[in-house]
Amino acid sequence: MKQLWSLVAVGVIAMSASVVAQEGAKPAAKPGEKQVQPAQDGKKDAKKDKVEVKVGEKAPEFSLKDTDGKEHALSSLSGKIVVLEWFNPDCPFVQKQHEKTTTMADLVKKYGDKVTFLAINSNAPGSMGSGKDRNAKAKTDWKLDYPILLDESGEVGKAYQSKNTPTMYVIDAKGNLAYWGAIDDDSSADKAGKTNYVGKALDELLAGKPVSQSKTKPYGCNVKYKN
């Protein structure tokens, strides 16, 4: 079993090698710590190739299938502004944007004709809010008119260093990351914020201005990665 884990770990490291920034040596052991993930001993060797995702730089490429099986590649959307919403239909902080408030619906209504919206679910199979059926149901229940892409390996989520649902990313028409962070400034699970950071970033981008607040701290559930 142990061997299997390290194989899986090495595989994941190889996959995510190009995306996650690592600096310095990893301590041999973490004292007194609850470590849910298996040990990743191979990590040290892979770290040289890792790239940190940064606002102002190229957004990581991806190609994922949605709940209808249709493939969506970021490269095919070049020339368009893209909004990514890290998604989990069973996370109360995602439910807030779709059920308790009209935050997401308002954004889509206001910007939907000029901006492409994509939800991405990186939760591992079997974890909370994962799977095609559950997400297809959320799409229907919440009347989403944008696709929910399934990233069950977590590769794309890790490439974007997305740790929360929701985490929001705005990618400009040139394919560069223009905003990374929270949807708004209220981290509760039931109230919409006063400032919607995504709306603000889109207003500025559409007006040809630089995004004034390009990084905020996301809030929500953690993404339920496989390992």
Pick between residue 128 and residue 173 the one whose CB is nearest to other proteins: 128
Using CB under 8 A, list all residues that contact other proteins: 20-24, 26-37, 89-93, 124, 127-128, 134, 137-138, 154, 157-158, 163-164, 187-190, 217, 219-227
Residue partners of 171: CB distance under 8 A and separation at least 6: 59, 74, 81, 82, 83, 84, 177, 178
CB of 81 or CB of 138, closer to other proteins: 138
State the nearest-atom distance from the C-beta of 150 to other proteins, in Å.
16
CB of 161 to other proteins, least distance (A): 8
In the complex, what is the shortest distance from the CB of residue 30 to other proteins, in angstroms, rounded to a whole number?
Answer: 5
Q: Which is nearer to other proteins, 48 or 113 (CB)?
A: 48
- Whichever of 138 and 202 has its CB closer to other proteins, that residue is 138
Least spacing, CB of residue 98 vs other proteins, in Å: 12
Shorter beta-carbon distance to other proteins: residue 178 or 224: 224
Q: Is the peptide bond before 166 cis (omega within 30 degrees of 0)?
A: yes
CA of 32: how far to CAs of 27, 29, 36, 184, 222, in Å? 13, 9, 13, 35, 22
| Strand ordering across the sheet containing 148-150 | 71-73, 63-66, 148-150, 115-121, 81-86, 168-171, 177-181
Q: How far is the CB of 189 from other proteins (least distance, A)?
A: 4
Strands (DSSP E) contained in 60-143 are 63-66, 71-73, 81-86, 115-121
Return the number of other C-beta atoms located less than 10 Å from residue 114's C-beta: 11
Q: Which is nearer to other proteins, 92 or 112 (CB)?
A: 92
From the CB of 200, what's the least distance to other proteins, in Å? 20
Write the burial class of residue 221 (CB in 10 Å: 0-12 exposed, 13-18 middle, 19+ buried): buried
- The amino acid at residue 207 is A
